[in-house]
Structure 1
């Protein structure tokens, strides 16, 4: 395709490391059979791909047993499995005002169908929660706390470890949405008291679309989201009890998982700490440049504060979608505009009627890319 400055990594990272594409091609040639459904060489190779993908994900998230990771098609499926599989009639849930629709919509669905109740904790202008307000929200029937590790609109980073400690002390489970943090922030599920961790393969883990997963603590049992063939306990009427088969009905995306495995290897090679530092420096550069342009208002944490690689902004008297369109068609810059599937965060930011332009950096973004984007925005605004 024509040359593009890609600043939409919060949606999907691009380009992928060459190793990802090579791994997928190799798996298509050598491991394209159904894992767990046969003993021939191709089927065994496919099973090996899935196990090694789990194993390297377990290394990244400090998970003791790789079989506690269920592979899914994306974070949305993982969150639906966690929320719908864990909550029962009358349970109470604590969530935040920066949650994605992949959290909010399942919760609202269960409010209608199972009578659960939900408290959404407010956030300040920097996208941060007050831990005292979180603690006050606990009730006797609070069973689950859902927390986005980082806002996909504001870029703010929530204190997951402290929230996990609160949940543990109140006998609740912490579910973390790591859509914007996996691969960019260090995550230790035990140290952070994370009972369930939902993550995408196609963003910070550098894998292909159609991949993701859910870590499920060995102390937690979920009702499966899907029922069907697993290649194990086929004579049983019910879904198998053994992990991960219980949560992985149907033919899996083995080719995609091979790519995900290669992507996670690159993340471990570079380390989340170095990736975060690279992206943070780029966001600071972008914020400095945008703040000098008349009428631009940047959302989320201010200069010098922690944030993931997301810079969202609004421009006075300008439509966000129009700005993104001009960036693409006139300057070859890919950004995203709109509501980013997180209306609650827009309500918190006061942009529920306008939406925002979101530029998000990634591993391959350069300082020159950032400068070109800022210059383009200045020309558009002029």
Structure 2
């Protein structure tokens, strides 16, 4: 039976209720949200609003109108960064960002003369919070940090980082792609001003869903304009949320599927999901450490990680290991740079990449036993 260990890319399988809810919407409702006064349109609009409320419950936020939907976390991050940072501004970020953040910042650096400061981290990928204060400048407009590395699994000290940002009255944007749904996030306690999330990873929802939770009163400059269903007479994009940042038709079916996924998470509780994924990470690390010719990257401590482990076999390209695991053993892992070259530069794998296995709530201990047996066989043959 095939084994899926690429949950850091997208989670699989999903709760049954996710597909069921998408199907029900497409089959029995199908109307555009916020675009009509008839019953089905009102039903669709209400269902989307209920998902905003569910996300507020999950992240401890109070205003559903400040939950903004986008097609994924990359679009959400670009929307936030480009809508906040102005030409000549300064941004502080980590040394292990995904390209969703890093490429956006580098393009603004090239095109709009912004300045970027990266905070040093140790070899495990942990940010040195003590170095942040010295990087703050009079024109610093934004802190943007990943919550957990998609390469090393390292969970960043966002509460301490957020406190520093708040003390300097600087907006704090958190990329929760690897943590939302699998690790507790409290927007208030963590001093988060903007949380970027994606639906298709640990939130267990459909692809094509994601967005922002905005926890401050300022307005992010819209990066696209168009129909919003309300205030159509104005020639300009509305200056209130969520309309101002949601031009065009939403992925209503996907959002409703995301709502079913978030309901599942709230019922199971994030704490129980975290507990299981921590167990799987601990077990996999222990088994992997017992194999010869294996290099493991990251903290090596499940308390400091999400369910992501990167490793290499000595003298064997990561892509070859992943190919053999798939073709011979039907085990699906990721190989390469994982769209995060800055993290690979830190661990010296920028040219070769790593093999990455990542766990989800529906993986079991037996899945790890099987991949470890497969790796042992690969090592013995090589």
Report the Cα distance in structure 2 between the residues aligned to 1:43 and 1:290, rounded to whole angstroms: 52
Per-residue displacement from partner, 1:51-81 (whole Å, max 9, x unpaired)? Answer: 0110100110111101101011100000000
Distance in 2, matches of 1:137 and 1:374, equals 43
Shift of 1:271: 1.1
Who is 2:246 aligned against?
248
The alignment partner of 2:335 has SS state of strand
Matched, 1:293 2:280: no
1:147–1:177 CA contact under 8 A, matched in 2: yes
TM-score computed with the length of structure 1 as normaliser: 0.98
- State whether residues 127 and 301 of structure 1, in contact with CA within 8 Å, keep that contact through their aligned partners in structure 2: yes
Aligned to 2:218, what secondary structure does the other structure show? Answer: coil
Deviation readout 1:207-262 (Å, 9 max, x if unpaired)? 00000110112322111121111111111100012210111111110000111000
Structure 2: runs of 5+ lacking an equivalent: none
Residues 219 and 240, structure 2, Cα contact 8 Å, conserved in 1: no
Deviations 1:329-368 (A, max 9, x none): 1001000000000000001111111100000000110000
Q: CA deviation at 1:149?
A: 0.3
Q: Could you say which residue in structure 2 is the equivalent of 1:318? A: 316
Q: Deviations over 1:284-321 (max 9, x none)?
A: 11111111221111110124542100011011101000
Alpha-carbon distance in structure 1 between the residues aligned to 2:112 and 2:36: 40
**Structure 1 segments of 4+ aligned residues over 3 angstroms from their partners:** none
Q: Deviations over 1:250-286 (max 9, x none)?
A: 1110000111000001111111111111111111111
Superposition RMSD on alpha carbons, in Å? 1.0
Selected match of 2:64 from 63, 66, 74: 66
| Structure 2 residue aligned with 1:98 | 96
Equivalent position of 2:116 in the other structure? 118
Partner of 2:161: 163
Counterparts of 2:44 and 2:64 in 1: how far apart (Å)?
A: 16
Which of 183, 196, 199 aligns to 2:197? It is: 199
Give the conservation status (yes or no) of the 8 Å contact 1:195–1:220. Answer: no
Contact 1:30–1:45 under 8 Å retained in 2: no
Residue deviations 1:129-178 (CA, integer Å, cap 9, x gap): 11111221111111100110000000000011000000111121110000
The 5-angstrom pairing of residues 201-240 of structure 1 reads: 201-240=199-238
Aligned to 1:377: 375
Distance 2:56 2:94 in 1: 27
In 1, are the aligned partners of 2:281 and 2:302 still within 8 Å (CA)? no
Task: Look up the SS of the partner of 1:313 in the other structure.
Answer: strand
Task: Look up the match of 1:183.
Answer: 181
Structure 1 partner of 2:362: 364
Shift in Å at residue 27 of structure 1? 1.0
Secondary structure of 2:132 counterpart: helix
Q: Work out whether 1:35 is the aligned partner of 2:33.
A: yes
CA distance in 1, matches of 2:247, 2:50: 19
Q: Alpha-carbon deviation of 1:381?
A: 1.1
Query: Is the 1:183–1:272 Cα contact (8 Å) retained in structure 2?
Result: yes
Structure 1 unaligned spans of 5+: none
Is residue 134 of structure 1 aligned with residue 132 of structure 2?
A: yes
Mean Cα deviation higher: 112-121 or 51-60:
112-121
